[in-house]
Structure 1
Amino acid sequence: MRQTTFIKPAEVTRTWYVVDGAGKTMGRLATEVAAVLRGKHKPTFTPNVDCGDFVIVINADKIEMTGNKMDDKKYYSHSMYPGGLRTRTAKVMKQDYTIEWVEKAIYGMLPHTRLGDVQRRHLFVYKGSEHPHAAQKPVELVLKG
């Protein structure tokens, strides 16, 4: 009889990956990065344990969206004061808030729990092609899409 193996937090081995966002589509990049942050690419995936890896996204300012999403897609935030709704288009988010734009897409695909909060801390997004994590020897993550 086969048994389901559950990995314990002390047994998790983490790898650092770097993803080049130049010319990639936002949603396709975000889904694959979120899967690596959760650890779903590993055969030892356990849903209630943080078994994901670290991911560095570079060239975030060169990520694209297809169709008319740059003008039509809206991002909303509210200050919780009357009349405090702020609306921004994807074009404005890409120009002025590039890092938050990419993080928001990836964060939405992670669990909205304490486990998701831990997994969010394993994501690092940078506008340019330089990052300060060379000492971790990140491996390039090749995306399918």
Structure 2
Amino acid sequence: MQTLSPSSGQTTRTWYFFDARDQILGRLAVQIASILMGKHKTSFVRHLDIGDHIVVVNAGLVKVSGRKEQQKIYHRHSGYPGGMKITSLKILRQTHPERIIIHAVSGMLPDNKLKARLLKHLHVYPGPDHPYQSQFKNSEIKN
């Protein structure tokens, strides 16, 4: 008997819907990262992209515990000398709230070649509106 290994083209991708309103950021990011990797499927293999699509709405209303709203900072660098940009969670929530969830989920995915491809299946929107209404007629709705 031979062990069958699934291929990326053989898997069917379902769409999951998450409402981030009043959800704790870390706990939400763990669930999203697990579904993106496909760990909930019986055919899970670490080296293939077999995860599902995820739509997250109300990203600006996600909760953080403690004093992270003022103290948590995000770093990015342009590559030029003196090009370090530092932004707090409070400012990022006002300007680009979807980046909060993307950054948290990105930190929970493995650092390999699949990371960028997995993140393409994550669709985050700051408000309640999104263009994927037709995908949720018979798919999973979480939260």
User: Unaligned 5+ residue runs, structure 2?
Assistant: none
Instruction: Give the partner amino acid of 1:23.
Output: D
Partner of 1:47: 46
- TM-score scaled by structure 2? 0.91
4+ aligned runs moved over 4 Å, structure 1: none
Establish whether residue 99 from structure 1 lines up as the match of residue 98 from structure 2: yes
Find the aligned partners of 2:105 and 2:114 in 1 and give their Cα distance.
15
Pairwise mapping of residues 54-73 of structure 1 onto structure 2 (< 5 A)?
54-73=53-72
SS at 1:108's partner residue?
Answer: helix
Superposed CA offset, 1:56-97 (max 9, x none)? 000111101000011111111111222211111111111111
**74-83 or 119-128: bigger deviation:** 74-83
Q: What is the CA RMSD across the aligned residues, in angstroms?
A: 1.6
8 Å CA contact 1:9, 1:51 repeated in 2: yes
Tell whether the 8 Å contact from 1:34 to 1:106 is kept in structure 2 after alignment: yes
Deviation for aligned residue 1:103: 0.8
Asked whether the 8 Å contact 1:76–1:88 carries over to 2, the reply is yes
TM normalised by structure 1 equals 0.90
- Deviation of 1:6 after TM superposition, in Å, equals 2.5
Counterpart for residue 80 of structure 2 = 81
Confirm whether residue 139 of structure 1 aligns to residue 140 of structure 2.
yes
Q: Is the 8 A contact 1:5 1:44 kept in 2?
A: no
Cα distance change on mapping 1:44 and 1:95 into 2, 3 Å? same
Q: Using the alignment, how far apart are the partners of 1:5 and 1:40 within structure 2?
A: 17
Q: Which moved more, 1:81-90 or 1:24-33?
A: 81-90
Question: Which residue in 1 is equivalent to 2:107?
Answer: 108
- Distance in 2 (alpha carbons) for counterparts of 1:105 and 1:135: 27
d(CA) in 2 for partners of 1:110, 1:4: 27
The alignment covers a number of residue pairs equal to: 141
Cα offsets for 1:105-133 (capped at 9, x unmatched): 11121123221211111000011111110
The amino acid across from 2:141 in the alignment is: E
Unaligned runs of 5+ in 1: none
Q: State the identity as a percent.
A: 37
